[in-house]
Amino acid sequence: MNSQQKTREWSDLSFTSHDGLRLVGRHYKAVRGKGARRTSPKKPPNPLLCLSSLTGNSGEFHELACFLNTHNKHPRDVYCIDYRGRGQSQNDYTSANYNSYVELRDILDFLVSFDLPHFDIIGSSRGGINAMLLASVRPSGLGSLILNDLGPVLEPGGVARVLGYLANMPQPASWADAIQIMRSMYETSFTALDEGDWKAFAQRYYKEQDGHLVASYDTRLRLTSRHLNLQKTLPDMWRQYLALLNHPLLIIRGENSDMLSRKTVEQMRTLHWHSRAVTVPGQGHAPLLRDQPSLQTIGAFLAEHD
Protein backbone atom coordinates (compact mmCIF):
# COMPACT_ATOMS: atom_id res chain seq x y z
CA MET A 1 0.00 0.00 0.00
CA ASN A 2 1.53 3.34 -1.07
CA SER A 3 1.03 6.62 0.76
CA GLN A 4 2.09 10.24 0.47
CA GLN A 5 2.16 12.88 3.17
CA LYS A 6 3.06 16.52 2.54
CA THR A 7 6.11 17.63 4.54
CA ARG A 8 8.10 20.83 3.95
CA GLU A 9 9.50 20.99 0.42
CA TRP A 10 8.74 17.33 -0.31
CA SER A 11 6.07 14.67 0.02
CA ASP A 12 6.91 11.64 2.16
CA LEU A 13 6.54 8.37 0.28
CA SER A 14 6.16 4.85 1.59
CA PHE A 15 5.91 1.44 -0.03
CA THR A 16 6.22 -2.19 0.93
CA SER A 17 9.20 -4.21 -0.24
CA HIS A 18 8.93 -7.68 -1.76
CA ASP A 19 9.66 -9.20 1.66
CA GLY A 20 7.28 -7.01 3.65
CA LEU A 21 9.43 -4.15 4.97
CA ARG A 22 8.09 -0.61 5.10
CA LEU A 23 10.44 1.56 3.07
CA VAL A 24 10.21 5.30 2.66
CA GLY A 25 11.47 8.12 0.50
CA ARG A 26 10.79 11.63 -0.69
CA HIS A 27 9.18 13.21 -3.73
CA TYR A 28 10.21 16.76 -4.60
CA LYS A 29 7.53 17.72 -7.09
CA ALA A 30 8.50 19.99 -9.98
CA VAL A 31 7.49 23.60 -9.35
CA ARG A 32 6.99 25.48 -12.60
CA GLY A 33 7.59 29.23 -12.64
CA LYS A 34 7.08 31.76 -15.41
CA GLY A 35 10.41 30.97 -17.09
CA ALA A 36 10.00 27.20 -17.06
CA ARG A 37 9.67 25.39 -20.37
CA ARG A 38 9.19 21.82 -21.44
CA THR A 39 11.56 19.97 -23.71
CA SER A 40 8.63 19.35 -26.08
CA PRO A 41 4.88 20.11 -25.97
CA LYS A 42 4.19 16.63 -24.62
CA LYS A 43 7.30 15.50 -22.74
CA PRO A 44 8.42 17.08 -19.44
CA PRO A 45 11.96 16.61 -18.15
CA ASN A 46 12.73 13.13 -16.88
CA PRO A 47 12.31 12.67 -13.13
CA LEU A 48 15.55 12.09 -11.27
CA LEU A 49 15.98 9.08 -8.98
CA CYS A 50 18.57 9.68 -6.23
CA LEU A 51 20.37 6.66 -4.77
CA SER A 52 22.25 7.40 -1.57
CA SER A 53 25.54 6.29 -0.05
CA LEU A 54 26.13 3.27 2.21
CA THR A 55 24.96 4.88 5.45
CA GLY A 56 23.15 7.81 3.83
CA ASN A 57 19.51 8.50 3.23
CA SER A 58 17.25 10.70 1.12
CA GLY A 59 18.21 13.78 3.12
CA GLU A 60 21.70 13.83 1.59
CA PHE A 61 20.17 15.01 -1.71
CA HIS A 62 18.00 17.76 -0.22
CA GLU A 63 19.87 20.76 -1.64
CA LEU A 64 20.20 19.14 -5.06
CA ALA A 65 16.52 18.17 -5.11
CA CYS A 66 15.40 21.68 -4.14
CA PHE A 67 17.64 23.15 -6.85
CA LEU A 68 16.30 20.84 -9.54
CA ASN A 69 12.60 20.84 -8.71
CA THR A 70 12.48 24.66 -8.68
CA HIS A 71 14.87 25.23 -11.60
CA ASN A 72 13.82 28.39 -13.44
CA LYS A 73 13.89 26.74 -16.87
CA HIS A 74 13.92 22.97 -16.39
CA PRO A 75 12.11 22.03 -13.15
CA ARG A 76 11.82 18.28 -12.69
CA ASP A 77 10.43 15.77 -10.22
CA VAL A 78 13.06 14.32 -7.89
CA TYR A 79 12.65 11.06 -5.98
CA CYS A 80 14.93 9.88 -3.16
CA ILE A 81 14.87 6.51 -1.40
CA ASP A 82 15.89 5.45 2.10
CA TYR A 83 17.31 1.95 1.68
CA ARG A 84 16.20 -0.67 4.17
CA GLY A 85 17.83 0.03 7.52
CA ARG A 86 18.57 3.65 6.65
CA GLY A 87 16.86 6.92 7.47
CA GLN A 88 13.19 6.32 8.20
CA SER A 89 12.93 2.93 6.49
CA GLN A 90 12.38 -0.21 8.54
CA ASN A 91 15.39 -2.23 9.63
CA ASP A 92 15.85 -5.70 8.19
CA TYR A 93 15.74 -8.57 10.67
CA THR A 94 18.46 -10.30 8.65
CA SER A 95 21.63 -8.21 8.43
CA ALA A 96 22.87 -10.25 5.46
CA ASN A 97 20.16 -8.57 3.40
CA TYR A 98 22.06 -5.28 3.58
CA ASN A 99 23.63 -5.77 0.19
CA SER A 100 23.32 -4.15 -3.23
CA TYR A 101 21.38 -7.02 -4.79
CA VAL A 102 18.57 -6.82 -2.22
CA GLU A 103 18.66 -3.02 -2.45
CA LEU A 104 18.36 -3.35 -6.24
CA ARG A 105 15.16 -5.33 -5.83
CA ASP A 106 13.86 -2.67 -3.43
CA ILE A 107 14.60 0.00 -6.05
CA LEU A 108 12.71 -2.01 -8.66
CA ASP A 109 9.79 -2.31 -6.21
CA PHE A 110 9.87 1.46 -5.80
CA LEU A 111 9.80 2.11 -9.56
CA VAL A 112 6.78 -0.14 -9.94
CA SER A 113 4.99 1.24 -6.88
CA PHE A 114 5.23 4.83 -8.09
CA ASP A 115 4.95 4.13 -11.82
CA LEU A 116 8.23 5.58 -13.04
CA PRO A 117 8.77 4.10 -16.51
CA HIS A 118 11.26 6.80 -17.57
CA PHE A 119 13.84 8.39 -15.28
CA ASP A 120 17.41 9.62 -14.84
CA ILE A 121 19.65 8.45 -11.98
CA ILE A 122 22.25 9.90 -9.68
CA GLY A 123 24.10 7.44 -7.49
CA SER A 124 26.38 8.61 -4.71
CA SER A 125 29.03 6.12 -3.54
CA ARG A 126 27.04 2.91 -2.75
CA GLY A 127 24.27 4.45 -4.85
CA GLY A 128 26.59 4.37 -7.85
CA ILE A 129 26.98 0.61 -7.48
CA ASN A 130 23.21 0.27 -7.30
CA ALA A 131 22.84 2.53 -10.35
CA MET A 132 25.14 0.31 -12.43
CA LEU A 133 23.28 -2.81 -11.32
CA LEU A 134 19.96 -1.18 -12.17
CA ALA A 135 21.22 -0.23 -15.64
CA SER A 136 22.28 -3.85 -16.14
CA VAL A 137 18.88 -5.36 -15.36
CA ARG A 138 16.50 -2.58 -16.41
CA PRO A 139 17.99 -0.47 -19.23
CA SER A 140 14.62 0.40 -20.77
CA GLY A 141 13.30 3.76 -19.64
CA LEU A 142 16.64 4.78 -18.22
CA GLY A 143 17.95 8.13 -19.44
CA SER A 144 21.04 9.91 -18.16
CA LEU A 145 23.24 8.73 -15.30
CA ILE A 146 25.41 10.54 -12.80
CA LEU A 147 27.99 8.70 -10.70
CA ASN A 148 29.13 10.65 -7.65
CA ASP A 149 32.64 9.52 -6.73
CA LEU A 150 32.07 5.92 -7.68
CA GLY A 151 33.44 3.85 -10.53
CA PRO A 152 34.03 0.22 -11.52
CA VAL A 153 37.18 0.07 -9.39
CA LEU A 154 37.07 0.76 -5.64
CA GLU A 155 40.34 1.80 -4.05
CA PRO A 156 41.16 -0.52 -1.09
CA GLY A 157 42.36 2.38 1.07
CA GLY A 158 39.04 4.18 0.72
CA VAL A 159 37.05 1.02 1.40
CA ALA A 160 39.13 0.31 4.52
CA ARG A 161 38.60 3.85 5.80
CA VAL A 162 34.82 3.70 5.31
CA LEU A 163 34.53 0.30 6.99
CA GLY A 164 36.71 1.48 9.85
CA TYR A 165 34.42 4.44 10.50
CA LEU A 166 31.37 2.22 10.20
CA ALA A 167 32.69 -0.09 12.91
CA ASN A 168 33.72 2.68 15.30
CA MET A 169 31.25 5.57 14.97
CA PRO A 170 31.13 7.54 18.26
CA GLN A 171 27.87 8.40 19.99
CA PRO A 172 27.49 12.21 20.11
CA ALA A 173 25.93 14.03 23.06
CA SER A 174 24.66 16.93 20.91
CA TRP A 175 24.60 18.23 17.36
CA ALA A 176 27.66 20.33 18.15
CA ASP A 177 29.39 17.16 19.26
CA ALA A 178 28.25 15.36 16.09
CA ILE A 179 29.65 18.15 13.91
CA GLN A 180 32.96 17.95 15.73
CA ILE A 181 33.05 14.21 15.14
CA MET A 182 32.56 14.82 11.42
CA ARG A 183 35.37 17.36 11.42
CA SER A 184 37.75 14.95 13.13
CA MET A 185 36.90 12.26 10.58
CA TYR A 186 36.84 14.26 7.36
CA GLU A 187 38.54 17.64 7.65
CA THR A 188 41.73 16.45 5.96
CA SER A 189 39.86 15.43 2.79
CA PHE A 190 37.06 18.02 2.92
CA THR A 191 38.95 21.29 3.11
CA ALA A 192 36.36 23.58 1.52
CA LEU A 193 33.30 23.17 3.79
CA ASP A 194 31.45 25.86 5.73
CA GLU A 195 29.44 25.40 8.94
CA GLY A 196 26.28 24.53 7.03
CA ASP A 197 28.12 21.83 5.13
CA TRP A 198 29.47 20.27 8.33
CA LYS A 199 26.00 20.23 9.84
CA ALA A 200 24.62 18.55 6.72
CA PHE A 201 27.47 16.03 6.96
CA ALA A 202 26.52 15.20 10.54
CA GLN A 203 22.87 14.76 9.55
CA ARG A 204 23.89 11.98 7.18
CA TYR A 205 25.12 9.87 10.07
CA TYR A 206 22.81 10.83 12.95
CA LYS A 207 19.16 11.52 13.67
CA GLU A 208 17.16 12.53 16.72
CA GLN A 209 15.24 9.80 18.51
CA ASP A 210 13.60 10.07 21.94
CA GLY A 211 15.64 13.18 22.74
CA HIS A 212 18.98 11.62 21.83
CA LEU A 213 21.18 11.45 18.75
CA VAL A 214 21.46 7.96 17.32
CA ALA A 215 22.89 6.52 14.12
CA SER A 216 20.66 7.21 11.11
CA TYR A 217 21.27 3.65 9.91
CA ASP A 218 21.10 0.16 11.34
CA THR A 219 24.49 -0.30 12.99
CA ARG A 220 24.44 -3.95 11.95
CA LEU A 221 25.54 -2.69 8.53
CA ARG A 222 29.07 -3.23 9.78
CA LEU A 223 28.43 -6.99 9.85
CA THR A 224 27.99 -7.14 6.08
CA SER A 225 31.65 -6.36 5.43
CA ARG A 226 33.09 -9.24 7.43
CA HIS A 227 33.71 -11.32 4.31
CA LEU A 228 35.88 -8.68 2.62
CA ASN A 229 39.61 -9.27 2.45
CA LEU A 230 41.20 -5.91 1.78
CA GLN A 231 44.59 -7.58 1.42
CA LYS A 232 43.41 -8.97 -1.90
CA THR A 233 42.28 -7.13 -5.02
CA LEU A 234 38.62 -6.18 -4.74
CA PRO A 235 36.34 -7.39 -7.55
CA ASP A 236 35.74 -4.72 -10.18
CA MET A 237 32.50 -3.78 -11.94
CA TRP A 238 33.65 -3.15 -15.51
CA ARG A 239 31.07 -5.61 -16.83
CA GLN A 240 28.28 -3.69 -15.09
CA TYR A 241 29.79 -0.42 -16.29
CA LEU A 242 29.28 -1.57 -19.89
CA ALA A 243 25.53 -1.26 -19.29
CA LEU A 244 26.00 2.52 -19.09
CA LEU A 245 27.51 2.91 -22.55
CA ASN A 246 24.17 3.66 -24.22
CA HIS A 247 23.31 6.39 -21.73
CA PRO A 248 24.76 9.89 -21.26
CA LEU A 249 27.07 9.79 -18.24
CA LEU A 250 28.42 12.44 -15.88
CA ILE A 251 31.25 11.33 -13.59
CA ILE A 252 31.81 13.45 -10.47
CA ARG A 253 35.00 13.00 -8.48
CA GLY A 254 36.09 14.68 -5.27
CA GLU A 255 39.51 16.25 -5.65
CA ASN A 256 40.73 14.43 -2.54
CA SER A 257 38.85 11.17 -3.09
CA ASP A 258 40.44 7.97 -1.84
CA MET A 259 37.69 5.82 -3.39
CA LEU A 260 37.72 6.82 -7.07
CA SER A 261 41.16 7.35 -8.61
CA ARG A 262 42.06 9.69 -11.47
CA LYS A 263 43.28 6.64 -13.39
CA THR A 264 39.89 4.94 -13.11
CA VAL A 265 38.12 8.12 -14.27
CA GLU A 266 40.38 8.26 -17.32
CA GLN A 267 39.59 4.63 -18.12
CA MET A 268 35.86 5.29 -17.69
CA ARG A 269 36.07 8.23 -20.10
CA THR A 270 38.04 6.24 -22.66
CA LEU A 271 35.51 3.39 -22.63
CA HIS A 272 32.36 5.55 -22.60
CA TRP A 273 32.18 7.75 -25.69
CA HIS A 274 29.29 9.87 -24.36
CA SER A 275 30.63 10.76 -20.92
CA ARG A 276 32.16 13.75 -19.22
CA ALA A 277 33.94 14.12 -15.89
CA VAL A 278 34.18 16.96 -13.39
CA THR A 279 36.20 17.39 -10.22
CA VAL A 280 34.82 19.02 -7.07
CA PRO A 281 37.68 21.00 -5.49
CA GLY A 282 38.38 20.70 -1.79
CA GLN A 283 36.16 17.64 -1.26
CA GLY A 284 36.82 13.94 -0.78
CA HIS A 285 34.58 10.87 -0.87
CA ALA A 286 31.87 11.56 -1.69
CA PRO A 287 31.21 15.22 -2.66
CA LEU A 288 28.23 16.65 -0.79
CA LEU A 289 26.64 18.16 -3.92
CA ARG A 290 25.68 21.32 -2.06
CA ASP A 291 28.01 23.82 -3.76
CA GLN A 292 26.68 25.98 -6.59
CA PRO A 293 29.14 24.78 -9.27
CA SER A 294 28.11 21.16 -8.66
CA LEU A 295 24.40 22.01 -8.67
CA GLN A 296 24.73 24.03 -11.88
CA THR A 297 26.76 21.30 -13.58
CA ILE A 298 24.22 18.59 -12.69
CA GLY A 299 21.28 20.77 -13.74
CA ALA A 300 22.86 21.61 -17.10
CA PHE A 301 23.82 17.99 -17.78
CA LEU A 302 20.30 16.69 -17.12
CA ALA A 303 18.69 19.48 -19.17
CA GLU A 304 21.02 18.83 -22.11
CA HIS A 305 19.89 15.21 -22.36
CA ASP A 306 16.17 15.50 -21.59
**27: phi then psi, degrees, rounded to nearest 5:** -125, 115
Secondary structure letter of residue 24 according to DSSP: E
Q: Which of 75-79, 227-231, 276-280 shows the lowest mean pLDDT across its residues?
A: 227-231
| Rounded Cα–Cα distance for residues 69 and 92 (Å) | 32
CB atoms within 10 A of CB 113: 17
| Rounded Cα–Cα distance for residues 158 and 184 (Å) | 16
Tens of pLDDT along 217-252? 999 998 877 666 555 667 899 999 999 999 999 999
- pLDDT at 37 (0 to 100): 54
More confident residue, 77 or 43: 77
In percent, the amount of the chain with pLDDT more than 70 equals 92
| Rounded Cα–Cα distance for residues 141 and 136 (Å) | 12
More confident residue, 210 or 121: 121
CATH of 3-159+236-304, one of 3.30.470.20, 3.40.50.1820, 3.30.1320.10, 3.40.50.620: 3.40.50.1820
- pLDDT at 181 (0 to 100): 95
Tens of pLDDT along 9-53? 999 999 999 999 999 999 999 998 755 555 444 578 999 999 999
| Rounded Cα–Cα distance for residues 21 and 107 (Å) | 13
- pLDDT at 41 (0 to 100): 46
Tens of pLDDT along 155-211? 999 998 988 888 888 999 999 999 999 999 999 999 999 999 999 999 989 999 998
Evaluate whether 92 touches 105 at the Cβ level (below 8 Å). Answer: no
Sign of the CA dihedral with 78 first, then 145, 250, and 40 last: negative
- pLDDT at 232 (0 to 100): 63
In percent, the amount of the chain with pLDDT more than 90 equals 82
State the average pLDDT over residues 290-302: 97
On average, the pLDDT of the chain sits at: 91
Evaluate whether 236 touches 156 at the Cβ level (below 8 Å). Answer: no
Entry pTM:
0.93
